[in-house]
Structure formats: structure tokens, C-alpha cells
Structure 1
Amino acid sequence: MTVVSVSMPDELLERLDEFSEDHGYTGRSEVVREAARNLLGEFEDKQLEDRPLIGVVTVLFSYENSTVEERMMNLRHEYEGLVTSNVHNHVGDHYCMELFILEGKLDEISEFVGRVRATKDTITVDYSVIPVDGFTPLSEG
């Protein structure tokens, strides 16, 4: 097996080690391998390919970090054909939340989420996707 060196902040490494111990993993390498498999498999759902989707992406970051906010604004403009709505909110005294509503194909949404996740200094990035063609109006149900 190939050995890979990864840089991460001490706090994240401590959380990784604690998670490994608390959940019965043999070590941090096993946790990282599983996380990599999960991340790579997230957008490989064959049932979602070639279907129109709605995506919701939520990003949390520190209020003091204007570079993240600027990056979110740039992504909003770069993906204007995908992003149908965008909301910026202040959360508590020190945080901002960016909410993106997307409409597009799986590969487009995947690319957008990847670009958001690659933004340095975000605290969390969460998302979900729903097939648009799977909706049944309540009046028919």
C-alpha cells in the first residue's frame, strides 16, 4: 500500500485520532481511507445521473474572514447558470452562512460542491440533491 503524507491543523488531527479511538478504528489511516471512499462515492449514484436535480449547499464561515465571503460571491457569478438562488445570513456574533440553491445535472452540482469545499477557511459545507423529475404534485397523491 502506498504511503501518503497529508498536512492538517493540529485540532483536526486530534479530532481524527479521537474519532478513530472512539469508533474502534485501527488508526487514523483507516479513518482517512474510509472518508476518501465516502467522498469519492458521494456523486457516483447512478440513479441521479442524467436527471434534472435541485441541490442545496450550505456553507458556514467566520464573519471576520472576508476572503471566504468574496470566494462565495465569485463562485455565485462563475456558476450563474447553475445557481438559481443565493442567501447570505449572519449567524450569531461571529459567523456567516451562505446558502446556494442549484438546478442542474449531477456532474455540474458535484463540480460546484467541490469548488466550495476547496475554499480555505470554511467551517462546514453541507449539501443535498433531489431529483426534480421525481416530484408528484400533492393534488395527484
Structure 2
Amino acid sequence: MQRLTITLDDETAQGLEEHMAAHGYSNRSEAIRDLLRGPLRDAEVAREPTMPCMAVVSYIYDHRARALSSRLVNAQHEHHALGVATLHTHLDHDLCLEVAVLRGAVSDVQAFAQALTRERGVRFGGTNLLPAPREPAHHHGSAGDAHGAPRGRHRPVD
């Protein structure tokens, strides 16, 4: 680790202290590290449009808007390779919340997320992009599949 020294004006220092208290930080270094991680992650993702990423896209929409539900579903089907999971819930008589988990290249995921949240009738929308590993590192065992089950010995489905 490297030690850095910074000088903050009184207002910023007070803001840091309030942030630490609100989020349970025990020291300034940890709070500042966490505050820096988000912008550094965002900069990393922005630099490399082909970088694999995970994203959570959330949006609230009026299901009564003309053909909006169909347009959203069609868009998801057209981009099925990016979709990992979708959550849909009814907020009230008119509004729905959808949360889509996406995985793919940054540029593809961003374009699809923007297409969803720009649809006419979508009231609010946001995207959170996170870098994803380039190669899936998902190995538990050595003598079988990625989850350690011996090959050819899976229990048949009843």
C-alpha cells in the first residue's frame, strides 16, 4: 500500500466526517478508498468499450403507454444474448418496475440499456455498469464439470 497525504478544506472535511458516520466507517482511509473506487471503476469501463461488463438496468414505466410493454419485451428478445435475468414488479395500478441484469461488451450493454430507458413511456431509468472477468473463473473441482460433479454421473431428472 502507498501512503498519500491530502489537504481538504473545512467544508469537505466535515462532509467526509458526516459520510463516515452515516456509513459506519472507522477511519478516513477506508472511507476515501471506497469513495475513489466508484469513479475509478467508471473510468476503467469507459476507456474500453469491448471490455466485458455486468450491468443492472432499472426503469419505471407506465404499462398503459401505447404498446410500451410489447416494445420492451421485443427489445429484450432482440438482445437476448445480453440478458441474464429480469425482475418485473407492479408498483401501483399504472406503474411497473423492471430490473434487467445484463452481461456483455460495455458498448453493447450501454446501447441496449439506453434503448430501454429512452423508450417513450419510461419515466425513470438508470444503469450501473461493473467490470466483469474476461474469462469465467468458475472451477470447483478437478475431476468433473465446473461444479466438481464427476462427468457422466449426474442424477437423471425425474
SS of 2:120's equivalent? coil
CA shift at 1:52, angstroms?
Answer: 1.5
- Cα distance between partner residues in 1 of 2:59 and 2:110: 15
SS of 2:71's equivalent? helix
State whether residues 51 and 105 of structure 1, in contact with CA within 8 Å, keep that contact through their aligned partners in structure 2: yes
TM-score for both structures, normalised by structure 1? 0.57
- Cα distance between partner residues in 1 of 2:119 and 2:74: 11
State the Cα deviation string for residues 57-94 of structure 1 (Å, max 9, x = none): 01101232252211110111000000111121101332
SS of 2:64's equivalent? coil
The two structures, once aligned, show a CA RMSD in angstroms of 2.5
Match of 2:63 in 1: 63
Say which one has the larger Rg.
Answer: 2
| Aligned residue runs from structure 1 range 1-141, under 5 A | 45-65=45-65, 67-133=67-133
SS of 1:49's equivalent? coil
Higher-helix-fraction structure:
1
Same amino acid, percent of matched pairs? 18
TM-score for both structures, normalised by structure 2? 0.52
User: Relative contact order: is structure 1 or structure 2 higher (C-alpha 8 Å, sep ≥ 6)?
Assistant: 1
Residues 74 and 44 (structure 1), Cα distance of their counterparts in 2 relative to 1, 3 Å cut:
farther
Gaps of 5+ in 2: 1-41, 135-158
- Cα distance between partner residues in 1 of 2:45 and 2:132: 15
Match of 1:4 in 2: none
Residues 132 and 45 (structure 1), Cα distance of their counterparts in 2 relative to 1, 3 Å cut:
closer
CA shift at 1:43, angstroms?
Answer: 9.0
Match of 2:144 in 1: none
State whether residues 59 and 99 of structure 1, in contact with CA within 8 Å, keep that contact through their aligned partners in structure 2: yes
